């Protein structure tokens, strides 16, 4: 039976202390890898006989504006079908040069997920076969999911609670 301890042991044997920030929120093993190793970690998780994480469930980004030099995190969720085990790992990148290697050579499902992540967060997936906007218009010169803008103009009176009978 594949356990979080076995996965952690195998990854530590292979990558040593390069894998950090081990956690298990809600039982899902979560860790951080250097962005330069994202493909090597995924390939190892895919190929290793005991692990066999052969399905990329999800790939997205998170913007941490206060995390200087590592503002963008690319988050990968992988699944081992045979043992029904899921893991999550993150790689962080600088928002000024958000280059992360594309996983499309290993997982075809990464194609549209990487395009969407580029479209909304501006992560440049190096080696992606067709990295262009997928949902937003091509003319957009910003990335709407980044936390760079205030949520709402607090001076607007049409959003006042009194206008909705709550005042």
pLDDT of 150: 73
Residue in 43, 46, 15 with CA at minimum distance from that of residue 31: 15
| Mean pLDDT split into 10-residue runs, the chain, 167 residues | 96 97 97 98 97 97 96 98 97 97 97 98 97 94 89 68 67
What does pTM read for this prediction? Answer: 0.88
CA 46/CA 14 separation, integer angstroms = 13
Handedness of CA 117, 120, 73, 82 (dihedral sign): negative
pLDDT tens for residues 33-58?
999 999 999 999 999 999 999 999 99
For the domain made up of 4-133, give the CATH fold: Beta Polymerase; domain 2 (3.30.460)
């Amino acid at each position: 039976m594949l356990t979080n301890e076995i996965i952690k042991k195998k990854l530590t044997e292979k990558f040593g202390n390069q894998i950090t920030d081990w956690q298990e929120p809600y039982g899902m093993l979560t860790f951080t890898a250097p962005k330069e190793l994202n493909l090597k970690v995924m390939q190892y998780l895919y190929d290793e006989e005991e692990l066999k994480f052969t399905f990329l469930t999800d790939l997205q980004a998170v913007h941490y504006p206060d995390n200087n030099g590592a503002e963008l995190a690319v988050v990968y969720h992988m699944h081992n079908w045979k043992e029904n085990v899921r893991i999550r790992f993150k790689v962080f990148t600088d928002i000024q040069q958000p280059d992360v290697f594309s996983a499309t050579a290993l997982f075809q499902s990464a194609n549209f997920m990487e395009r969407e992540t580029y479209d909304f967060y501006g992560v440049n997936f190096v080696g992606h076969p067709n990295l262009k906007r997928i949902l937003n218009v091509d003319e957009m010169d910003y990335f709407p999911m980044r936390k760079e803008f205030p949520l709402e103009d607090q001076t607007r009176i049409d959003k006042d609670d009194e206008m909705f009978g709550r005042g």
